[in-house]
Structures are given as C-alpha cells and as structure tokens.
Amino acid sequence: MAKLWAIIKREYLERVRSKWFVIATLFGPIFFSAIIIVPAWLSSRSGATTDIYNTVILDATGNGFGHRLAVNIAVDTTIPGRMPEVRVIAPSALTQAESLATHQVMQKEKTGYVVVDQQTLAGEAARYAGRNATSIADMAQIKSAIRETILASRLEKVGLDNSRMKEITFIPLDFSTERITEKGRAGSGIASVMFGFAIGFLLYASIVIYGQTIMSGVLEEKTTRVAEVVMSSVPSDTLLAGKVLGVGAVGLTQQIVWIGATYVLLKARAPIMAKLGAPTMSFTLPDISLGAGIIFLLFFLFGFIFYSSLFAAVGSSVNSESEARQAASPLMIMIISTAVFIQPVLLNPTGTMARVLSLVPFSSPIIMPIRMAVIGIPPLELAASLGFLAIGCIVALWLASRIYRVGLLMYGKRPSMREMARWVSYSR
Amino acid sequence: MTEYAIDIVNVTKRYAEHTAVSDLTLRVPTGSVYGLLGPNGAGKTTTIRMILNIIAPDSGTIHIFGRPSSDSKITERLGYLPEERGLYRKMQVKRVLKFLAELKGVKGSEADVRIDDWLERLSLKTPEKDWGLCKVDELSRGMQQKVQFIGTLLHDPDLVILDEPFSGLDPINAQALKDTVVELKKRGKTVIFSTHLMDNAERLCDSVCIIARGEKVLDGTVTGVKEEHGQRNIALALEGDGMEGIASILRDQSLVKRADDSNRFFEIELVPGGDPQALLRRIVESGASVQRFEMIQPSLHEIFLQKVGVGARAPGAGAWAGGIEEGMTGHG
C-alpha cells in the first residue's frame, strides 16, 4: 500500500509541478469565461450596443419623423452622444445624401444609416445599410424603434397627446425562457445546453489529454528501463494502478480548479457584464444536486479508468512516440467519434441514438453526463449505463494489465494484434 | 537452506517462439560474488528477471534467502541495476532516488539522509555544487550512472543484482563499481552480476555459472571451474618480427589443439600428450624472439570460448581476444 502510494505521489507531484500543468490550469478558466461571457455579452447587446447610436437617420419624410425615431433608438436621451444623428433632406437629394453616408460608413465615421421616407410613414418600408447589418440584435432594435415611431405618429394623428402616447407605446418586454423537466423547473434552456456542452467538452478533453499523458508516461518508463527497476520492487499491476490513479488525480485537480473558477466567474458575472456596459440577463445555472454531482464524478472516474488503462496498454506495447501515435489511433477514433455525437445528442437527448450511446462503455462516460445535464434520466437507465461502464472498466483493466506486464519487457519490433492477444494469455 | 542467497531449482521459462531458460538449477552462496556468464540471448536477463520476480517461471522454484521469490518482503532485500540504464529524465535527482527508496520500503526521512550521504560519497554533492537538486537530464552520462548505482544500493540490499554493470562505464566509474562490489562483499552482502566480460568476472567473482542457449554449461567456484574444465595452457609472448614462422607452427594440428592469438600474445592449448618442450624448440628454431613462455591455468575467457562453442574454430585461426564481445551481440 505504501508503495502504491509512493507511485501515486510521484505521478501526481511530478505532473502538478510541471509548467504545462500550471499554464493549462490557468488557461482553462480564461477559456471558459471567454466561452460563457463573450456569447452572453454578444447576445445581451440586443437592448443596447454602442454602435447603434452612431447611425445616421436620413429623414426624407418632411414631418420630423427622423427626430422622433432618434429618440426611440436612443432609449435614454439624457446620455450625450447616445443619440443617432438626424439629417433632414428633400426626397430629391436622397441619392446624394445616401452616397455621402455610405462614404462615411466606409470611412468608419458612422456605423450605418437608416432611410425613412413617405413609404415609412405609410408603414410599408424603411431601409438600413451599415457595417452591423448582420447583427440580429441591432436590426431588431432599429426595426422596433421604427415601428414604435410609426405607431406614435398614427396615434398623434387620431389626436392622442404626447404623454399618453409614451405610455401606450412604451413596452420594455423582457422575454425570458425557462425549461421544465419531470423534476420541475430546471433553469434556462440555453444555460442547460451550454452546461451540457461544457461537461461533455471537459470530459472529452480530459480523457484525451490525460489518456495520452499516461501513454507517454508508460512509454518513457519502458524506453528508459525505469519500468524494470520499479517492477523489481512492486508488481506491474501496482505500477499500472498507481499511474492511472496518480494521473487521474491530476486530471481531477485540474477540473476542480476549472469548475471552481468557472463557478466564481459565473457568480461574478453580473459586475463584469456591467463593467462591459451590457445589461445582465437572468442566467440561472441548472440545479446540480449532490447526488447528480457524485454520478458525474463516477462517470468521469470510470471513463477515465476505461480509456487510460487502454492507453497504458498501448504505451507499453510500443517503442517510440511515433509508433504510439499510430497504435493509439483506434482509441482516438473511439473518443473522437463520441465527441462528434455530442451535438446531435444535445439536440435530441431522448432519441434512440442518445440512449444507445449512453449504454456503450466507450461513449457513455461522455454522452450520459451530457444527457443528464439537459434532461432527467430514469434511474434504471442511469444504473444500466454505469453498470455497463463498470464492467467495461474491469475488462479494460484486466486486458491492459496483462498486455502491460508483458509489453513493458518486450523491446524490438511493434507487436501485431495476434501477438498482443497471446500476451494476454501469458501467465506472467 | 539459508546458506544460499539464491536457490534456483529446475527452472524453465518458455516464450512462444523459444525456450529462454531450460531446466536451470543454480545456487548462489550467501556472501559471495557470483558471475552469471553467457553470450547475449543466453537467458541471463530472463534468469535475473525471474530472480527479481518480474516474471514467473513456467516450472521450477526460486528461493531467495530461503523464501519464495514472490514474497513481497524479499523484494525489499534486493537491489537491481538493469542492463540498459535509465531514470526519469525530467525529475530532480533527489526525488528520483527518494522514489526508488520508497519503493523498497525506506521511509522518506531516512531516505533523505542516505541520499545526501551517497551523493557526497560519489562526489555528486560538493560544497560548490549539489547535483542532487538538478534534473536527471542535466547530468552527464557518467553522473547519471552514479545516480542509478545509488538507486540500486540506497535501501542497503542484502542481495545486489547487476545486469551487465560494466557496459558503457568509463574507466573511473568502472573502478568505482569494482571497489563497491568488493566493499559489499566485505560487509557480507551477496552480489550477482551478469557479464560477457570474462576479465572482470575472473577478477571479481568467487563463483561463476556459464549459461548458453538457456541451459547451464557449467558452474562452480572460479578456481574449481579452472581446475576441472581447463588443461594447463601455454602463455607465449614474442618480441620483434618473425611472426610468419610462428603462424605455421600454431597451425600444426599434430601439436597444437587451439591457439588464441592476440598478435604478440598467444594462449595455446596443446593436443592431449603434446610436448611443451617440442613446441618451445620449434618456436626458437623459427627465429622468433621469445619474451615469455609459461605454463598457465586457462583463463575463464578461454574456458568460456571452449564451452560455449566458439572453440570449434580451426586452431590458430586467431580471433582477436575481444572478438567474443562483438560476435555475440544478439537480442536477448
């Protein structure tokens, strides 16, 4: 036991001390915060982007429509500089004014321009041209401002006074979405999908990164013959177990840092968003109970053991990094093909494909947690998935330990599949 | 039972294509320096791995100090230096050593003391520089070998197994290794090493075992082996020119059974009943200037060649004495 501990300790400390671990661990939260904050920030621009105030209104209506529109776009007229510029022009001079505005947009002096004319007053058409024409949020903002202005002019026509008009047309609608599952309310729909995706990505990344870490660690011990020295002190099974556990602990450490930092970032998201000048949307994280957390952890551990023991077997059977890359390709294909299914599964988490993939041991450690994040999984299905994965782990460990103890001592040419199958049958 | 450090009885190990070790029986007395000799591929490394319980024999038994080799307490009394050496390259020297010590059941604090002691003893730690704080790959090859050697001895093993310990050692480290082997023996430890360098084996070993193709060819004390397996040979050393005549004399199969030609030095085995005086007369008549002509015991090297089958070559065909090392590199 003390010797197993010595191996775990070495694997853990040597890796945690390395520069790359520190960099990757620090980079993670930055990456995740970028993933979480940037899209949220972009989508939250629906109400107010700074670009939108820099548009020009070319008003060819001749009745002051442009000024009212400017007020409606600005929302808050007390802030200077947050009001689009209005250019009142005669319909005949419109072409010339447009080409001037186009030039200004091209020179980046202006973001874009809106053309309002008689057709607009009739509620038929308005035009916009600008650099942000693809921004759905900006366009929606301008469009609704035009609608509001048209509505206001119509109401004015039927004799409504100004204050009543404001009252009627002002509709600050906040449309929030929330998901309902068998267990009741479960946070916003987008948040769940993002959360599921994050979980899937995290599991995928750590299996790939730490599986390969184990593989090259085993290969190093083999090529430097350290393995022989260690095996003269402890059985090969102990070495394998120590390696898988030690590197697994490194992965877990990194994930705890990542998840912890992401959690803190999410908590601190409101002030950050405010600093960025974006209003905060409601963004509730899906409720993760302790039980679900433990199941996530089990999936991570089992999935990690499943893949890393196979990676260790590959590492022990080859003699160089390039051979290892080749020999590991079937494993990589298994993992990558699982990752390919993440999106379809997220789109249809109750479909047959999703269910089958969450029972097969090579894909279930990634697919099942994703499904758990987005829908409620019947306990029986969950148990079956974990059960199959546990059996898969035992088989993988058994196979790996037998290939490992022979492979570590075999130098020379890379073994064929048949030879490896024979290794499995060797007594020791 | 316990007078033997290693007691191997009828051990066989087969692989798919070949039998690595076949019905091997050998006993290593406690406190002796024991040489396991044989060409590469003879089964030395397989035997050592079975002693270390890295692999298990298909049949037969191995006892170490009277206990089965699979006994986990026994492994703590063994120290092993593998043939091709290596350490974790990116790890700090002291941490590697501490790790190796912990695997042998030495407590961390105790290991620290011993590591410093050893590093100082092998001048890897001086007032100016403590190499123990460097990473392994910052050390020169010679220094790495020292570190590896410390790793083998750190837990003060009762049985030290050195697989080809002299290969790749510079003369200074080789001498340090020999000194250490002698010192270990003085302290009552048992040292077993495999080698194909007969010179070292002859000088260091109390007993030897020659194995080839997985089978034991002979074993016993070095003196015993020499008396039993070698005739008295003639050592001949020449001066100056006149080698041509000598060559024809040495090829005379009525007188010379075999001759090991090292250019100016020859080790000659006569045919049974051959007269050394007749040989000396003919050499003198050939005009060669004799520097040395002496009846000697055969060297281990000579016995080895004879027993392992290379001796089948024509007498006097004269292979360079070191040829054995080259001719026998295979894959083992």
Q: Which comes out higher in pLDDT, residue A114 or A186?
A: A114
C-beta atoms of B104 and A428 within 8 A = no
pLDDT at B24: 92
Q: Angle at Cα B212 formed by Cα B205 and Cα B250, nearest 5°? A: 80
Residues A225 and A369 grouped into a single domain = yes
Asked if residue A47 lies in contact with residue A102, where contact means CB atoms within 8 angstroms, the answer is: no
pLDDT digits (tens, 9 = 90+) for B220-252: 888 888 877 766 788 888 887 666 778 888 888
Chain A within 8 Å of B86 (Cβ-Cβ)?
A: yes
Residues A23 and A60 grouped into a single domain = no
Q: Burial-class residue A225 by CB neighbours within 10 Å (0-12, 13-18, 19+).
A: buried
Q: Is residue A340 one of the residues assigned to a domain?
A: yes
Token couple for A105: 């947009």
- C-alpha–C-alpha distance, residues A288 and A373, integer Å: 9
Q: Burial-class residue B188 by CB neighbours within 10 Å (0-12, 13-18, 19+).
A: exposed
Residues of chain B with pLDDT under 70: 1-2, 230-231, 241-243, 309-332
Residues of A in contact with B80 (CB under 8 A): 228-229, 232
Interface probe for B, chosen from A3, A232, A405, A423 (most Cβ of B below 10 Å), is A232
The number of domains in chain A is 2
Q: Is the dihedral of CA A52, A58, A59, A60 positive or negative?
A: negative
Residues A110 and A217 grouped into a single domain = no
Residues A338 and A399 grouped into a single domain = yes
User: For A46-50, A112-116, A211-215, B20-24, which range has the lowest pLDDT when averaged over its residues?
Assistant: A46-50
Q: Is residue A37 one of the residues assigned to a domain?
A: yes
Q: Burial-class residue A368 by CB neighbours within 10 Å (0-12, 13-18, 19+).
A: buried
pLDDT digits (tens, 9 = 90+) for A348-367: 888 888 899 999 998 999 89
Asked if residue A72 lies in contact with residue A145, where contact means CB atoms within 8 angstroms, the answer is: yes
Q: Is the pLDDT of residue A52 over 80?
A: no
| Angular region, B65: left φ>0, alpha ψ -120 to 50, beta rest | left
According to DSSP, the residues that pair with B27 across neighbouring strands are B7
Residue B20: phi and psi, rounded to 5, are: -75, -40
pLDDT at B34: 94
pLDDT at B324: 38
Q: Is residue A178 one of the residues assigned to a domain?
A: no
**Measured between CA atoms, how close is A259 to chain B, in angstroms?**
29
- C-alpha–C-alpha distance, residues B308 and B330, integer Å: 15
- C-alpha–C-alpha distance, residues B177 and B183, integer Å: 10
Q: Is the pLDDT of residue A191 over 70?
A: no
Going by C-beta distance under 8 Å and a sequence separation of 6 or more, which residues neighbour residue B140? none
**Measured between CA atoms, how close is A11 to chain B, in angstroms?**
10
Closest-CA residue of B relative to A220 is B88
Which residue shows structure tokens 């290596």?
A: B86
Q: Are strands B19-29 and B4-14 parallel, antiparallel or unpaired?
A: antiparallel
Amino acid (1-letter code) at residue B289 = S
Q: Is residue A335 one of the residues assigned to a domain?
A: yes
Task: Spell out the alpha helix ranges (H) of chain B.
Answer: 44-51, 72-75, 93-103, 108-121, 141-153, 171-186, 198-204, 222-229, 243-250, 276-285, 300-308, 323-327
Comparing CA positions, the residue from B170, B235, B245, B162 lying closest to residue B204 is B162
Going by C-beta distance under 8 Å and a sequence separation of 6 or more, which residues neighbour residue A60? A89, A90, A91, A94, A115, A116, A117, A118
pLDDT at B323: 34
pLDDT at A262: 73
pLDDT digits (tens, 9 = 90+) for A355-404: 999 999 989 998 998 888 777 788 899 999 999 999 999 999 999 998 89
CATH number, domain of A137, equals 3.40.50
Residues A150 and A286 grouped into a single domain = no
pLDDT digits (tens, 9 = 90+) for A209-268: 899 999 999 999 998 888 888 988 888 889 999 999 999 999 889 888 887 887 777 677
Q: Is residue A264 one of the residues assigned to a domain?
A: yes
Residues A123 and A192 grouped into a single domain = no
Distances in Å between the Cα of A227 and the Cα atoms of A220, A407, B85, B282, B331 are: 9, 11, 11, 59, 19
Q: Is residue A317 one of the residues assigned to a domain?
A: yes
pLDDT at A225: 85
pLDDT at A48: 45
According to DSSP, the residues that pair with B21 across neighbouring strands are B13
Would you list the DSSP string of A114-175? EEE-HHHHTTS--EEEETTTT-HHHHHHHHHHHHHHHHHHHHHHTT--HHHHHHHH------
Q: State mean pLDDT over A314-339.
A: 89
Q: State mean pLDDT over A133-147.
A: 80
Calculate Rg over the CA atoms of chain B.
23
C-beta atoms of B105 and A234 within 8 A = no
Which residue shows structure tokens 């058409």?
A: A125
Q: Is the pLDDT of residue A36 over 70?
A: no
Token couple for A17: 């001390």
Interface probe for A, chosen from B54, B87, B110 (most Cβ of A below 10 Å), is B54
Distances in Å between the Cα of B321 and the Cα atoms of B204, B234, B249, B308, B326 are: 19, 16, 20, 15, 10
- Interface ipTM: 0.76
Asked if residue A36 lies in contact with residue A269, where contact means CB atoms within 8 angstroms, the answer is: yes
Token couple for B329: 């590199």
Token couple for A266: 């999410």
Which residue shows structure tokens 């197994």?
A: B161
Comparing CA positions, the residue from B46, B163, B220 lying closest to residue A409 is B46
According to DSSP, the residues that pair with B8 across neighbouring strands are B26, B62
Token couple for B332: 């083992």
**CA B179: distance to chain centroid?**
15
pLDDT at A1: 78
- C-alpha–C-alpha distance, residues A265 and A36, integer Å: 9
B55, B86, B95 ranked by CB distance to A225: nearest: B86
pLDDT at B112: 93
- C-alpha–C-alpha distance, residues B332 and B319, integer Å: 24
| Angular region, A184: left φ>0, alpha ψ -120 to 50, beta rest | left
Residues A337 and A197 grouped into a single domain = yes
Q: Is the pLDDT of residue A166 over 90?
A: no
Would you list the DSSP string of A245-262? HHHHHHHHHHHHHHHHHH
Q: Angle at Cα B90 formed by Cα B89 and Cα B94, nearest 5°? A: 85
Q: Burial-class residue A92 by CB neighbours within 10 Å (0-12, 13-18, 19+).
A: exposed
C-beta atoms of A409 and B84 within 8 A = no
- C-alpha–C-alpha distance, residues A381 and A368, integer Å: 10
- C-alpha–C-alpha distance, residues B232 and B255, integer Å: 14
pLDDT at A44: 54
**CA A20: distance to chain centroid?**
22
pLDDT at B145: 85
Determine the structural domain holding residue A109 and report its residue range.
47-169
Q: State mean pLDDT over A97-114.
A: 88
Mean pLDDT, rounded, of chain A: 81
Chain A within 8 Å of B16 (Cβ-Cβ)?
A: yes
- C-alpha–C-alpha distance, residues B28 and B35, integer Å: 10
Ordered structural domains, chain B, with CATH: 4-226 (3.40.50.300), 230-327 (3.30.70.100)
pLDDT at B192: 94
Residues A290 and A201 grouped into a single domain = yes
Asked if residue A150 lies in contact with residue A123, where contact means CB atoms within 8 angstroms, the answer is: yes
Which residue shows structure tokens 């390696």?
A: A243
Q: How confident is the model at residue A41 (pLDDT cuts 50, 70, 90)?
A: low
Q: Which comes out higher in pLDDT, residue B86 or A5?
A: A5
Going by C-beta distance under 8 Å and a sequence separation of 6 or more, which residues neighbour residue B89? A220, A224, B135, B136, B137
Q: Is residue A179 one of the residues assigned to a domain?
A: no
Residue A265: phi and psi, rounded to 5, are: -60, -40
C-beta atoms of B85 and A225 within 8 A = yes
In the listed set A135, A169, A203, which residue is the last one of a domain according to the structure? A169
Residues A402 and A419 grouped into a single domain = yes
pLDDT digits (tens, 9 = 90+) for B64-123: 999 998 888 888 899 999 877 778 988 999 999 999 999 998 988 999 999 999 999 888
Chain A within 8 Å of B53 (Cβ-Cβ)?
A: yes
Residues A88 and A7 grouped into a single domain = no
pLDDT at A47: 46
pLDDT at B331: 38
Asked if residue A382 lies in contact with residue A368, where contact means CB atoms within 8 angstroms, the answer is: yes
C-beta atoms of B151 and A228 within 8 A = no
Termini Cα distance of chain B: 31
Which residue shows structure tokens 């980046």?
A: A108
Going by C-beta distance under 8 Å and a sequence separation of 6 or more, which residues neighbour residue A164? none
Going by C-beta distance under 8 Å and a sequence separation of 6 or more, which residues neighbour residue A203? A299, A300, A303, A365, A366, A369
In the listed set A138, A169, A200, which residue is the last one of a domain according to the structure? A169
Token couple for B308: 């392992």
Residues A144 and A81 grouped into a single domain = yes
Residues of A in contact with B73 (CB under 8 A): none
In the listed set A102, A136, A169, which residue is the last one of a domain according to the structure? A169
Residues A110 and A36 grouped into a single domain = no
Report the 10 Å Cβ neighbour count for A16.
15
C-beta atoms of B80 and A229 within 8 A = yes
Q: Is residue A176 one of the residues assigned to a domain?
A: no
8-state DSSP, B92: B
